[in-house]
């Protein structure tokens, strides 16, 4: 690219799949990305831009005029075009839309009006429709004669609509092929095909796809009119994003953080979670502060207290991890809540006994003081049971109040185990050794 | 069900989608599951059994004879049949296979021979094939005349193979429909269609689907012979499982744990992670033990030390969460490793300065001792920088040695932040206040 060897670049990049071209651009020195795209000229597939972090895409797109972007966007499926349009502000969006053919413009403008998380943002608006009174043979013939431009790049089914474009049913291509030529579409169509409303949340759409193993789903508006289709390749990313969002939330990282973010932006994004944790750490330490006198008399207490707190925190995190995911996948609901609470508490007690025993023996030997072994064993049992209860009740309560349990459970749960851990260990020690 | 009202049950359950029937069975009192299935008789769709936890499926299947299972499995696509067969031991598998028609038996037996995580376990073996010299019209006509039984329930493409069944290319149904009747399949087929080898790891197959937005992929053996097809609905679950496995691993929970596991089994599964953490907690406490004398002289140190350790642990967990996912998605590779390490270190230092300052001020006021504020601020900065480095270098090192970073990073990373946190805080305090 640096040498501007146009022919070599063409040869290398023209045959690449859009995903590979996208990956190539990302791997490239940032300063060479735009020149490469310019060198490729009209051969550059704008779909490659949908295969990278938002930051990098925005950075690249900033170098091109609305007219060039419009040229590129024109060739794309409407869902990919939307991804690119979303990167521009309202004024630039208008300029790009202006440079598009009126039909595309209207469809894209309508999509941009849907909320960010709506099904309408994921759908493709070009669909193949037919009236119910056509025969299978007619449908195939008409498709053969239709201009390539007016058909989607690929499709798996045709949708049967009435004159008002209301959705009646669908016919998969394999059904269409197997049917007699003279069969009426209304006789072979699937009438009770699952559909989604255009304003449905994308997470909900993803769950429908997963639950019913769908490949595509028609999208209708409030009046049951067909407005588009969502195919599973667009949903796969949503499914992964939802799980990934839970994973990141549990790790205290924002859903939006990307590997290409700047240091400053990343640090800012992580600050809030660390700040909340600092507050909870001070709460936990203030419990330690209550027992200053006892720790001064018996410094072994200061050495061992963190073990009780940390073991409780880890057990609680295990429970919380399972519970947060079970809530997200709807595996855990009111129907089985009690059963799961009882189970987690029992698991906490079983492991509390096991680890209480081990920790007690080791600690008793370490400080040559059997009493401290008994004290830490009891505290460990109490804290693991408390951790189990906290690990399940806190996410459930948050979910009940419509707060995302993945984002907010962690801080509460570890506060519980730190406070209960320190308090039970030092409290029991005070009583046992009469340190009060 | 209890009243044995057969007609009512039929009316209620017959029209249910397999996924809803599966969910109904799971929600039902365990004692009523088998009677319901018996009541439904041959109307029961065995595909419903693939929509639940392994435990529940195994429990249900234990009540049915190999002959009944064989009857049910017969109606299924080969990938669903495989899921059910996997629940039986070798002897029972043989009995069920014996009761199946020879063609199905051979195909299923071959699939069972592939390793658990291989592409071969996910594929459907019934595919539509055609020789390259057929025309589009011929292909459609022949499909129309083929017995329904010999075609897959649904399909999106036909595969072109040579006489030795070697894969030559594919034609999507929409392409087939758009083509002229007289077009030869070899002229309209896609020759460079991405394919996977039957022994390929399922995680790798999932990544190929995601990267190239595929709907289906042909599966070939070592000799390039077509053996089946994997469709995306089977991969969606794999994609989610892979992310979910990382999430669980980071939370210290086994990938296999299910909500329906017994208390004993769950406690056992979580024991190992807690045991490793107990060891690391003792290591951290032994660092505290080195400073017993200092803590006795100045008990504020014992109160504040856990704050430094916990804040470092949380910052390190943030970095680790991002790094583990970036390694899994291949976003982080040798090419950008240094850039990401520098970025994480910088983020650690920025937040280290911010939280050092805050913690220093609060601690100084709390104990009316400005010196302790300075000490904790320095220790916090050191520990957040160390946490950032640990959070990235440990998962990278583990990945380099082909150890799953999601499973094993956590324990190492928090050991680093606990040890560095305690050591730097108490070490600096010893020097600052001349407590040595």
Question: Which residues of A fall within a CB distance of 8 Å from B288?
Answer: 302-303, 306
pLDDT of residue B196: 92
pLDDT in tens, A160-215: 999 999 999 999 988 888 888 888 999 999 888 889 999 999 888 988 888 888 88
What are the φ/ψ torsions at residue B45 (nearest 5 degrees)? -90, 110
Kindly determine whether residue A156 and residue B143, on different chains, have CB atoms separated by under 8 Å.
no
Minimal Cα distance from A22: which residue of B? B211
DSSP for A88-121 reads: S-HHHHHHHHHTS-HHHHHHHHHHHHS-TTBGGG
Q: Of the candidates B176, B247, B315, which has its C-beta nearest A250's C-beta? A: B247
Question: Which residues of B fall within a CB distance of 8 Å from A233?
Answer: 213-215, 232
Minimal Cα distance from B362: which residue of A? A282
Asked whether residue A153 carries a pLDDT value surpassing 80, the answer given is no
Asked whether residue B14 carries a pLDDT value surpassing 70, the answer given is no
Asked whether residue B366 carries a pLDDT value surpassing 90, the answer given is yes
pLDDT of residue B1: 57
Cite the residue boundaries of each domain of chain A with CATH code 3.10.580.10: 129-244
- What whole-number distance in Å separates Cα of residue A234 and Cα of residue B265? 38
Asked whether residue A8 carries a pLDDT value surpassing 80, the answer given is no
> Nearest C-alpha of chain B: how many angstroms from A217?
13
Kindly determine whether residue B239 and residue A244, on different chains, have CB atoms separated by under 8 Å.
no
> Nearest C-alpha of chain B: how many angstroms from A5?
24
pLDDT of residue A259: 83
- What whole-number distance in Å separates Cα of residue A189 and Cα of residue A179? 11
- A6-116: CATH number: 1.25.60.10
> Nearest C-alpha of chain B: how many angstroms from A88?
25
Mean pLDDT for A323-337 is 86
DSSP for A14-57 reads: TTS-HHHHHHHHHHS-HHHHHHHHHHHGGG--GGGGGGS-HHHH
pLDDT of residue B320: 93
Question: Which residues of A fall within a CB distance of 8 Å from B244?
Answer: 243, 325
Asked whether residue A98 carries a pLDDT value surpassing 90, the answer given is no
* Of residues B358, B413, B364, the one with CA closest to residue B381: B358
Minimal Cα distance from A418: which residue of B? B306
Lowest mean pLDDT among A320-329, A330-339, B281-290: A330-339
Q: What is the dihedral of CA B305, B310, B311, B314, to 10 degrees?
A: 170
Q: Of the candidates A144, A253, A335, which has its C-beta nearest B177's C-beta? A: A144
Question: Which residues of B fall within a CB distance of 8 Å from A48?
Answer: none
Mean pLDDT for B260-286 is 90
Question: Which residues of B fall within a CB distance of 8 Å from A213?
Answer: 19, 233, 236
> Nearest C-alpha of chain B: how many angstroms from A401?
23
* Of residues A250, A255, A225, A47, the one with CA closest to residue A153: A47
Annotation: CATH topology of B6-117? MgtE N-terminal fold (1.25.60)
DSSP assignment letter at B193: -
Mean pLDDT for B189-208 is 88
Question: Which residues of B fall within a CB distance of 8 Å from A270?
Answer: 315, 318, 347, 351
Q: Which CATH superfamily is domain B129-233 in?
A: CBS-domain (3.10.580.10)
Q: Of the candidates A176, A233, A311, which has its C-beta nearest B281's C-beta? A: A311
Query: Which one of B288, B292, B381, B423 would you mutate to disrupt binding with A, by most A Cβ within 10 Å of its Cβ?
Result: B288
Question: Which residues of A fall within a CB distance of 8 Å from B240?
Answer: 210, 239-240, 243
pLDDT of residue A13: 67
Query: Which one of B157, B210, B278, B316 would you mutate to disrupt binding with A, by most A Cβ within 10 Å of its Cβ?
Result: B278
> Nearest C-alpha of chain B: how many angstroms from A91?
31
pLDDT band at B3 (very low <50, low <70, confident <90, very high): low
Query: Which one of A209, A230, A267 would you mutate to disrupt binding with B, by most B Cβ within 10 Å of its Cβ?
Result: A267
pLDDT of residue B362: 96
DSSP for B44-110 reads: --GGGGGGS-HHHHHHHHTTS-HHHHHHHHHTS-HHHHHHHHTTS-HHHHHHHHHTS-HHHHHHHHH
Cite the residue boundaries of each domain of chain B with CATH code 1.25.60.10: 6-117
Average pLDDT, whole number, for chain A?
Answer: 87
Find out whether A196 and A214 touch, Cβ atoms under 8 Å: no
pLDDT of residue B26: 80
pLDDT of residue A389: 96
Length, in residues, of chain A: 436
Mean pLDDT for A321-338 is 87
Minimal Cα distance from A246: which residue of B? B247
pLDDT in tens, B399-414: 999 888 888 888 889 8
Question: Which residues of B fall within a CB distance of 8 Å from A177?
Answer: 140, 143-144, 173, 176-177
pLDDT band at B19 (very low <50, low <70, confident <90, very high): confident
Query: Which one of B177, B244, B288, B321 would you mutate to disrupt binding with A, by most A Cβ within 10 Å of its Cβ?
Result: B177
* Of residues A23, A67, A65, the one with CA closest to residue A47: A23
pLDDT in tens, A244-279: 888 888 888 888 888 888 888 889 889 999 999 999
pLDDT of residue B260: 81
SS3 B180: coil
Asked whether residue A4 carries a pLDDT value surpassing 70, the answer given is no
> Nearest C-alpha of chain A: how many angstroms from B321?
6
pLDDT in tens, A200-237: 998 889 888 888 888 889 999 988 999 999 988 888 88
Asked whether residue A2 carries a pLDDT value surpassing 60, the answer given is no
Cite the residue boundaries of each domain of chain A with CATH code 1.10.357.20: 263-432
pLDDT of residue A426: 95
**Percent share of chain A, pLDDT over 70:** 97
pLDDT in tens, B147-178: 777 777 788 889 999 999 999 999 998 888 88
pLDDT of residue A174: 87
Cite the residue boundaries of each domain of chain B with CATH code 3.10.580.10: 129-233
pLDDT in tens, A351-409: 999 999 999 999 999 999 999 999 999 999 999 999 999 999 999 999 999 888 888 88
pLDDT in tens, B203-252: 889 888 888 888 889 999 988 999 999 988 888 888 888 888 888 888 88
Mean pLDDT for B72-98 is 80
Annotation: CATH topology of A129-244? CBS-domain (3.10.580)
Kindly determine whether residue A325 and residue B244, on different chains, have CB atoms separated by under 8 Å.
yes
Q: A425 or A111: which carries more pLDDT confidence?
A: A425
**Percent share of chain A, pLDDT over 90:** 39
Pairing between β-strand A157-161 and β-strand A216-220 as defined by DSSP bridges? unpaired
Asked whether residue B7 carries a pLDDT value surpassing 70, the answer given is no
Find out whether B234 and B214 touch, Cβ atoms under 8 Å: no
Asked whether residue A414 carries a pLDDT value surpassing 60, the answer given is yes
Count of CB pairs separated by less than 8 Å, A with B: 292
Kindly determine whether residue A259 and residue B310, on different chains, have CB atoms separated by under 8 Å.
no
Pick the CATH number of B263-432 from 1.10.20.10, 3.10.450.50, 1.10.357.20, 1.25.40.10: 1.10.357.20
Question: Which residues of B fall within a CB distance of 8 Å from A317?
Answer: 251-252
């Amino acid at each position: 690219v640096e040498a501007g060897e146009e022919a070599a670049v063409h040869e290398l990049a023209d045959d690449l799949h859009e995903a590979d071209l996208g990956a190539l651009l990302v791997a490239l020195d940032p300063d060479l990305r735009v020149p490469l795209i310019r060198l490729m000229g009209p051969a550059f597939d704008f779909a490659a831009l949908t295969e990278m972090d938002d930051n990098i895409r925005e950075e690249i797109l900033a170098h091109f005029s609305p007219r060039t972007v419009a040229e590129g966007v024109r060739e794309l499926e409407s869902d990919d075009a939307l991804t690119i349009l979303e990167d521009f502000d309202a004024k630039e969006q208008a300029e790009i839309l202006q440079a598009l053919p009126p039909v595309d413009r209207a469809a894209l403008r309508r999509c941009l009006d849907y909320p960010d998380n709506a099904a309408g943002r994921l759908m493709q608006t070009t669909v193949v429709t037919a009236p119910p009174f056509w025969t299978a043979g007619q449908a195939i013939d008409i498709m053969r004669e239709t201009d390539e431009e007016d058909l989607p790049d690929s499709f798996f089914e045709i949708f049967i609509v009435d004159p008002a474009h209301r959705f009646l049913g669908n016919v998969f291509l394999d059904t269409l092929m197997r049917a007699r030529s003279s069969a009426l579409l209304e006789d072979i169509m699937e009438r009770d095909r699952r559909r989604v409303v255009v304003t449905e949340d994308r997470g909900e759409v993803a769950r429908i796809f997963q639950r019913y193993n769908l490949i595509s789903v028609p999208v209708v508006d409030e009046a049951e009119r067909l407005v588009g289709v969502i195919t599973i390749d667009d949903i796969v990313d949503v499914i992964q994003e939802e799980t990934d969002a839970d994973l990141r939330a549990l790790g205290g990282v924002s859903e939006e953080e990307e590997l290409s973010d700047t240091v400053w932006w990343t640090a800012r994004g992580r600050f809030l979670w660390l700040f909340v944790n600092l507050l909870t750490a001070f709460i936990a330490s203030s419990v330690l502060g209550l027992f200053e006198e006892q720790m001064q008399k018996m410094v072994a207490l200061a050495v061992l207290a963190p073990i009780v707190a940390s073991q409780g925190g880890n057990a609680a995190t295990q429970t919380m991890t399972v519970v947060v995911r079970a809530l997200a996948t709807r595996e855990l609901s009111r129907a089985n809540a009690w059963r799961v609470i009882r189970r987690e508490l029992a698991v906490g007690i079983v492991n509390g006994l096991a680890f209480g025993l081990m920790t007690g023996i080791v600690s008793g030997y370490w400080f040559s003081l059997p009493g401290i072994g008994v004290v830490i064993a009891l505290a460990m049992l109490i804290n693991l049971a408390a951790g189990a209860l906290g690990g399940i009740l806190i996410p459930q309560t948050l979910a009940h109040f419509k707060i995302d349990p993945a984002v907010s459970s962690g801080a509460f749960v570890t506060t519980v185990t730190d406070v209960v851990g320190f308090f039970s260990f030092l409290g029991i020690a005070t009583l046992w050794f009469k340190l009060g």
